[in-house]
């Protein structure tokens, strides 16, 4: 049926092992033989069966990415970053979208461990601590956490955006625009993104001798524009509405802007709005959304590279 290594060997007048070597460790094969073998490989357009190869090496050349959803451009970009980095090294990206359902997140990871992926990138809600206690005994493949800060102590790699810096910049941006009654629309309080953005933001406010009034602290959901709309609507109905808002991601910010405009207010004259993350849409929202970047594409790329790091790349990537 499909052509295999012995077919090539026969045609080249060598043994299968020599073909194998010519493909995986060319330096072990005499130049002449190697050249001939590679020619025939080309000619017959042979390519090694990855399943058989995997069975021997214990590798699948597949990396899994765990994310809450794909329609949030933040994660879509991250996936693109992963894919680009992986492909250049002959690896493939398998998607583990858990649709914002934490129970499903565990099932998805479980399935990937069974599937024997070569590495896992977790940009989800699971912490290294929990991963350790749930899956730790079952695997020794590299796991990289994205945007979880304290994972190193558990022996996992971690790639994080400098969110503290971003949060401080966001605060400064609002102050520069003259905002004095500053509110925030955060994601869920227990979410690590939220924590890492809120604390430095508050601290920066204090540096300016201000503080975050508790009634200006509202909460939405990172995946839902609507919750941003709701939160901002509430803020605007206060007897003393804010004149500056920091939305904790651009999804929320989109809802915030909608709420402001639907009350007939002007941005940034009446209310200044600053978001986080840098989805490509941002500059085209009307009015333009001021956003603090934390390129998720780069984050994904770095996570992929970190994951491949310990694995190395024993086989040449599919040439051509």
Partner DNA sequence: TTGTACGCGTTATCAA
Partner DNA sequence: TTGATAACGCGTACAA
Establish if 24 lies at the interface with DNA (CB under 7 A).
Answer: yes
Establish if 90 lies at the interface with DNA (CB under 7 A).
Answer: no
Establish if 61 lies at the interface with DNA (CB under 7 A).
Answer: no
User: Between 103 and 142, how does the x/- string for binding to a second copy read (CB under 8 A)?
Assistant: ----xx-xx--xxx---------------------x----
Establish if 319 lies at the interface with a second copy (CB under 8 A).
Answer: no
- CB-nearer residue toward a second copy: 106 or 167: 106
Establish if 76 lies at the interface with a second copy (CB under 8 A).
Answer: yes
What are residue 276's DSSP bridge partners? 292
Output the six-digit token pair for 314: 């024993």
Establish if 313 lies at the interface with DNA (CB under 7 A).
Answer: no
Establish if 254 lies at the interface with a second copy (CB under 8 A).
Answer: yes
- CB-nearer residue toward DNA: 25 or 138: 25
d(CA 281, CA 75): 14
Q: Choosing among a second copy, DNA, none, which partner's interface includes residue 285 (Cβ < 5 to 8 Å by kind)? A: a second copy
Establish if 20 lies at the interface with DNA (CB under 7 A).
Answer: yes
Closest CB 230 distance from a second copy, rounded Å: 12
Establish if 26 lies at the interface with DNA (CB under 7 A).
Answer: no
Establish if 52 lies at the interface with DNA (CB under 7 A).
Answer: yes
Q: What does the binding site for a second copy look like in residue numbers (CB under 8 A)?
A: 45, 47, 49-52, 54-55, 60, 62, 69-71, 73, 76-77, 79-80, 83-84, 87, 92-95, 97, 99, 107-108, 110-111, 114-116, 138, 225, 229, 254-255, 257-258, 261, 280-281, 283-286, 318, 320
């Amino acid at each position: 049926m499909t052509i295999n290594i012995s077919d090539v060997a026969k045609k080249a007048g060598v043994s299968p092992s020599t073909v194998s070597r010519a493909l995986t460790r060319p330096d072990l094969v005499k130049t002449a033989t190697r050249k001939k073998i590679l020619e025939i490989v080309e000619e017959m357009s042979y390519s090694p069966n990855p399943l058989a190869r995997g069975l021997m090496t214990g590798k699948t050349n597949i990396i899994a990415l765990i994310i809450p959803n794909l329609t949030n451009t933040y994660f879509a970009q991250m996936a693109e970053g992963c894919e680009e980095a992986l492909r250049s090294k002959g690896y493939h990206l398998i998607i583990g979208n858990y649709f914002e359902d934490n129970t499903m997140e565990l099932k998805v990871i479980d399935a990937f461990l069974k599937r024997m992926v070569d590495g896992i990138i977790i940009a989800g809600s699971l912490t290294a601590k929990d991963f350790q206690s749930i899956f730790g005994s079952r695997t020794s493949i590299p796991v990289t956490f994205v945007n979880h800060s304290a994972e190193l102590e558990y022996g996992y790699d971690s790639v994080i955006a400098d969110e503290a810096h971003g949060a401080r910049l966001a605060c400064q941006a609002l102050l520069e625009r003259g905002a004095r009654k500053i509110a925030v629309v955060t994601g869920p309080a227990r979410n690590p993104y939220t924590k890492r953005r809120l604390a430095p933001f508050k601290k920066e406010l204090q540096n300016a001798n201000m503080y975050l009034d508790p009634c200006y602290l509202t909460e939405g959901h990172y995946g839902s524009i609507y919750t941003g709309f709701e939160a901002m609507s509430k803020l605007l109905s206060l007897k003393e509405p804010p004149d500056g808002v920091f939305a904790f991601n651009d999804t929320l910010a989109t809802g915030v802007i909608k709420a402001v405009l639907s009350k007939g207010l002007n941005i940034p004259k009446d209310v200044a709005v600053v978001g986080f993350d840098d989805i490509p849409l941002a500059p085209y929202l009307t009015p333009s959304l001021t956003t603090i970047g934390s390129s998720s594409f780069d984050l994904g790329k770095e996570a992929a590279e970190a994951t491949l790091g310990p694995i190395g790349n024993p086989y040449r990537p599919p040439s051509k």
